[in-house]
Amino acid sequence: MVKKTFRKCFVFGLITVIASYQGNVGVALASTVICEKETDLRVPDEVSLTKSSEKIVGESKGIALEKGAEAGEKLLQIDSDEQYVEAVSEVLEKYYQQSVITSQLDKFTDMVKPCAEGVVKDYREAYEERMESDSLSYDPKKVILQFRNDISDSSIQEAMEVISDGGELVSEAEIDSDLPAYKRDRIMKAKESRTNYKLAIADLSLAQSTDRAIEAYKKLDGVQSVERDQIMEFPSDDGMEAKSVIPNKKMLVKSAISDERMSARSAISNDPRVSEQWNLIQTNTAGAWNLLNSYTKPHYQIWVAVIDTGVDMNHEDLQGQLLENYSVDIAKEGHPLLTSVTPQYTSEHGTHVAGIIAAKANNSIGVAGVAGIPDSVNDTLMSCRVMAIKITQEDNSYTLSDLYDAIYYATDKGAEIINLSLGGVPNSSSLRSAIDYAYKAGVTVVAAAGNKNMTYPYYPSDFDHVISVISTDINGKKSPTSNYEKKDISAPGVDILSTIPGNKYDYMSGTSMATPFVAGVVALMKKADYSLKPDDMDAIIKDTAYDVGAPGYDPETAYGVVDPYHAVQRALSRYK
């Protein structure tokens, strides 16, 4: 039980010993310098209670809930201050594990010696903070840590066990052995050449307030940052505009994008409601499909991770499009598969986003997704499939730690693209590191610019290595609520028809809808040339965009509206 003494009372100062050794780390990329040494974080030796002290503690815990004063008096039999403090900590643990704290606790604490007053204070502060959790903007039970990359994994786990109640080393999840070799190889290169920090999420003990935990972890020489686990709302006005209302449901597709390069539009598909999908018609998405249909190079399965509010796994237009064995609820312990959750969780927001990307085309049902076409060689393979990752709680809130966890999960499970139709999160160094890791693994991250009609920095879309998406209307104009300035690309985001739960379809608007359109185009490009890296995607998307504003880059529409046909054409042209 030394962990409790150490973390709750700080009897010992945290001792950091640098112990280096030669590592046998393989060089994955010749241009990357890889750390060859790892450092261990040493913590004080455990303090073991004597048998007599253990017996006294057991007797005290046995009567603590009913006879607090007597329980406190029993501990006075322990002579060693060090063991006494540990004994008090164990009994306090018994009290604070209860859902209701009784008056016996006060009677117990009235009996403690001065050397244990610190641990009593720690428990009270942590308890009071947790009781206020409904009004807090963060989760009082966790903190997010970044360790230096040269700190050994075992040492990080040990530090979390000693200082807190354990935790998860998110950045070191194992690669799934069932993944295709081309996905495993890509991810392994990122892991072997990783230069960003190691990300961990610590579970705080009952004696730790977030302030106390942050103070303790900052004493570790190998910790680069400690952050509270912020709670965000999802979806909010930062993630989606109000649902659109289109009375006749049969809009007239008229567009400012009508010059010769867009005039030869291809027929879309046999899906009955495709005529209402102005976003596909106007941008000549079917032209991009036709280019891929003539493509005979090696074909790969492209996976798009939709980190969102969950997806209706039973929707008729998404059957065969969802990666059931990789679609999980990150917010629940153990990350259960969405197909195993009872009752089935469904969400309008996440289902709508997934449909924009991958609703099955030419199946005579509903609508078509940007990348919802069959593989031109093997029609049992789709151009892309969706990995649905739910990060929200029942109240549609989510924590930054679940967002980080989802990004690492998507990357390590083989996604080539991550769609983030969310935003308004803090400028977090931990989130930046998670995105950097995805980038190094060859994952293209696409994120919503937000719906505040503002120009201030907006995260995660404004991080480096993220394609930031502005929403435009049918006339190629920035939608009234879309954030803008210093973004990357525009895409259709007003009155977008897509899937919603229960085999239904509806219109929604916002940068949440524009973002998956771009993610779908990136999936088509990756299908055309799997060797394309995130920087290549970013450059091609910008260079081939249809310029709808002032010539060149402009704040309201960035480099222009994404052009699926010419983006895919450019991707294919890399083959000579």
Domain at 313, CATH number: 3.40.50.200
- What average pLDDT does range 254-280 have in this prediction? 70
Is 349 annotated as catalytic? yes
| Within-domain flag for 384 | yes
Q: How many domains does the chain have?
A: 1
Check residue 377 and give its pLDDT: 57
pLDDT at 235 over 90: no
CA gap 154, 169 in Å, rounded: 10
The active-site residue out of 352, 512, 529, 566 is 512
Between 484 and 3, the more confident residue is 484
| Within-domain flag for 271 | yes
Between 374 and 150, the more confident residue is 150
Q: Between the CA of residue 557 and those of 243, 454, 472, 480, 483, what are the distances in Å? A: 22, 13, 8, 12, 10
Tell me whether the omega of the peptide bond preceding residue 492 falls within 30 degrees of 0, making it cis: no
| Within-domain flag for 523 | yes
For the stretch 40-79, pLDDT in tens is 887 666 678 899 999 999 999 999 999 999 999 999 999 9
Within 10 angstroms of residue 135's Cβ, the number of other Cβ atoms is: 6
pLDDT band at 375 (very low <50, low <70, confident <90, very high): low
| Within-domain flag for 114 | no
The active-site residue out of 40, 122, 271, 308 is 308
Helices (H), 359-474: 400-412, 429-440
pLDDT band at 147 (very low <50, low <70, confident <90, very high): very high
pLDDT at 527 over 50: yes
pLDDT band at 172 (very low <50, low <70, confident <90, very high): confident
pLDDT band at 395 (very low <50, low <70, confident <90, very high): confident
| Within-domain flag for 460 | yes
Parallel/antiparallel/unpaired status of strands 198-203 and 167-168:
antiparallel
pLDDT at 302 over 80: yes
pLDDT at 266 over 80: no
Is 512 annotated as catalytic? yes
- What average pLDDT does range 383-402 have in this prediction? 92
pLDDT band at 149 (very low <50, low <70, confident <90, very high): confident
pLDDT at 378 over 80: no
Residues 6+ apart with CB under 8 A from 364: 270, 271, 272
Between 573 and 94, the more confident residue is 94
| Within-domain flag for 29 | no
Check residue 253 and give its pLDDT: 44
pLDDT at 32 over 70: no
Check residue 381 and give its pLDDT: 60
pLDDT at 18 over 50: no
| Average predicted confidence (pLDDT) for the chain | 86
- What average pLDDT does range 540-561 have in this prediction? 93
Check residue 174 and give its pLDDT: 78
φ and ψ of 484, to 5 deg: -155, 180
8 A C-beta contact, residue 239 and residue 512: yes
pLDDT at 134 over 80: yes
| Within-domain flag for 131 | no
| Within-domain flag for 12 | no
The active-site residue out of 40, 122, 349, 402 is 349
Check residue 236 and give its pLDDT: 55
pLDDT band at 274 (very low <50, low <70, confident <90, very high): very high
Check residue 7 and give its pLDDT: 36
Check residue 479 and give its pLDDT: 95
- Give me the domain span that covers residue 392: 260-572
Structure tokens given for 95:
């009290």
pTM above 0.75, yes or no: yes
Beta bridge partners of 466: 445
Smallest Cα–Cα separation from 91: which of 99, 81, 67? 67
8 A C-beta contact, residue 107 and residue 69: yes
Is 103 annotated as catalytic? no
φ and ψ of 491, to 5 deg: -160, 155
Tell me, what amino acid is at 80?
A: S
Smallest Cα–Cα separation from 3: which of 198, 235, 167? 167
pLDDT band at 452 (very low <50, low <70, confident <90, very high): very high
